[in-house]
């Protein structure tokens, strides 16, 4: 079997498992979101600020992927919600099988929101469906505003762009306007929020986006996919 055929087989199997996960989430009205970025863009910081704003009885859980260490899980677990680290041991993305295995430890019927922090990478995660309702791509002001043009697949497939670390704008050569323009050249309908996890600026808009997605899900017919 050549490499192309093998890759197609792997992706086909992943898509089958992802479809099963999506049906499972839909059956329990669980909103599953897949956060993707390059390393250091601030996914974990965004999740920290997100979890700290939830009521203690919020039915939310987090799966966080990394090649090595459980550092991110340790940071997120202090907020009191279920958190699992998925250590890939070298694989540059999470896949549906990893998600399926991690969920064996939880009763998903007790969840309303599942947040998945993917491995820091803008390439490989774009090809792997995890059964999520939406992909969210995070881009920081410490990076280039041309990232959407360099890595179009993930920006095209993501419903929301979180422009993070906007508190750095006075100190770095990054144009929010250009980043928004480039993102919408790739994905014209993309929603965009601009946040700083350091100052809290923009976080209400991010939380509002989450609330709106939850409301859309709750308003859907029972068992319907989002």
Predicted TM-score of the model (pTM): 0.92
Residue with tokens 């906007």: 166
CA distance 41 to 39: 6
Computed over every residue of the chain, the mean pLDDT equals 93
Q: What pLDDT shows up at residue 3? A: 58
Q: From the options 3.40.50.2300, 2.40.110.10, 3.40.50.300, 1.10.540.10, give the CATH code of 3-218.
A: 3.40.50.300
What tokens does 106 get? Answer: 């939880």
Burial class (CB in 10 A: 0-12, 13-18, 19+), 119: buried
Domain ranges of the chain: 3-218
E strand intervals along 73-219: 83-87, 113-117, 134-140, 158-164, 191-194
pLDDT (tens digit per residue) in 13-50: 999 999 999 999 999 999 999 999 999 999 999 999 99
Phi, then psi, of 121 in degrees rounded to 5: -175, 135
Contact partners, residue 54, CB within 8 Å, separation at least 6: 60, 79, 81
What tokens does 174 get? Answer: 């990054």
State the distance between the two ends of the chain, measured CA to CA, in whole angstroms: 36
pLDDT category at 68 given cuts 50, 70, 90 is: confident
């Amino acid at each position: 079997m050549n490499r192309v055929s093998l890759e197609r087989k792997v992706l086909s199997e992943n898509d089958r498992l992802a479809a099963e996960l999506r049906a499972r989430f839909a059956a329990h009205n669980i909103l599953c979101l897949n956060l993707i970025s390059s390393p250091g863009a601030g996914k974990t910081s965004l999740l920290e600020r997100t979890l700290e704003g939830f009521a203690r009885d919020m039915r939310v859980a987090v799966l966080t992927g990394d090649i090595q260490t459980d550092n991110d899980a340790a940071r997120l677990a202090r907020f009191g919600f279920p958190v699992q680290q998925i250590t890939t041991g070298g694989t540059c993305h999470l896949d549906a099988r990893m998600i399926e295995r991690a969920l064996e430890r939880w009763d998903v019927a007790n969840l309303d929101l599942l947040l998945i922090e993917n491995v820091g990478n803008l390439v490989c995660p774009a090809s792997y469906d995890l059964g999520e309702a939406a992909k969210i791509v995070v881009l920081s002001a410490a990076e280039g505003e041309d990232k959407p043009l360099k890595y179009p697949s993930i920006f095209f497939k993501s419903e929301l762009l979180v422009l993070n670390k906007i508190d750095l704008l006075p100190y770095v050569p990054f144009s929010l306007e250009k980043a928004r323009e480039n993102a919408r050249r790739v994905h014209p309908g993309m929603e965009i929020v601009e946040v700083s996890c350091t100052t809290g600026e923009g976080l209400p808009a991010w939380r509002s986006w989450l609330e709106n997605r939850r409301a859309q899900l709750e308003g859907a017919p029972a068992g319907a996919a989002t």
